[in-house]
Amino acid sequence: MFQRSAQVLRRSNLTGETFSPPKLSLVEFARTPVPATEAIVDKSGREKGRAMSFFAWDNRYDLGVPEMNREHQKLIDLMNQLHEHQVKHSPKETITKTLVALVDYTKTHFAHEEAYMTKIRYPEVKVHQLVHKGLLEKLGEYQRSFEKQGKLEPTFFSFLKRWLAAHIMGIDMKYSPRGATVSRH
C-alpha cells in the first residue's frame, strides 16, 4: 500500500496531492479563478466597506458533509486573515500569531478528516493521510521560512489558494458521496 501511495504522490501536482477534478482537466482547473467575496462597489468601481477576500467559499466546495464544510470555511477564514495582515503590513507578531493559528487548525482539521474517513470506512484513508503529511510538511517549510526571513513570500499565498481548492475539489470530493450518505443516517 505504501509503495502504491508513494507512486501516487510522485505523480502529483505542486501541492503534493493527486488531483482529478470533476469535468475539468487539471490545466482547465488551474486556469479557473478562485472566486473572491463580493464587495459593495461605489460608482467609480472602488470597493467600499471591506476589501475583497483573498479566498472565498464557493458552493463547488460543498462536500455534503456539514462538519467538514465548516472546517474548510474556517481554514478559508484564517487564510483571509493572514493575507489581510500581509497586505496591510501588520506587525510580525500579528502575522506570526495568525500563521500559527492556520498551521494548528490545519493539523486539527486533518485529524478530524482522517477520523471521519476512518468512521465511514473510506478505503483510501491511508493515501489521504500521506497527502495530509506532505501538505503539512510544505506548510511547515513556509512557516520556517517566515520565521527566518520575517516575511511571507507571494508563492506562499499561491500555494494556500491552490492547495485548498485542489484538495477540496480533488481528493476530498472522493470521500464526499460516502460521507454524505453516512451523515444522513
By residue range, what is the domain housing residue 144?
Answer: 2-183
The enclosing H or E element of 40 equals: strand 40-41
Polymer length of the chain: 185
Contact 55, 35 (CB under 8 A): no
Q: In terms of DSSP H, where are the helices of 19-124?
A: 26-31, 66-87, 92-119
Contact 176, 167 (CB under 8 A): no
The three-class DSSP label of residue 15 is coil
Domain harbouring 124, CATH code: 1.20.120.50
Count of the separate structural domains present in the chain = 1
pLDDT per residue, tens digit, the chain (185 aa), is 333 333 333 333 334 444 333 444 333 433 444 433 333 333 333 333 345 578 888 888 899 899 999 999 999 999 999 999 999 999 999 999 999 999 999 999 999 999 999 999 999 999 999 999 999 999 999 999 999 998 898 899 999 988 888 888 888 988 887 555 655 44
The three-class DSSP label of residue 7 is helix
Question: What pTM value is reported for the model?
Answer: 0.69
Looking at residue 171, what is its pLDDT? 86
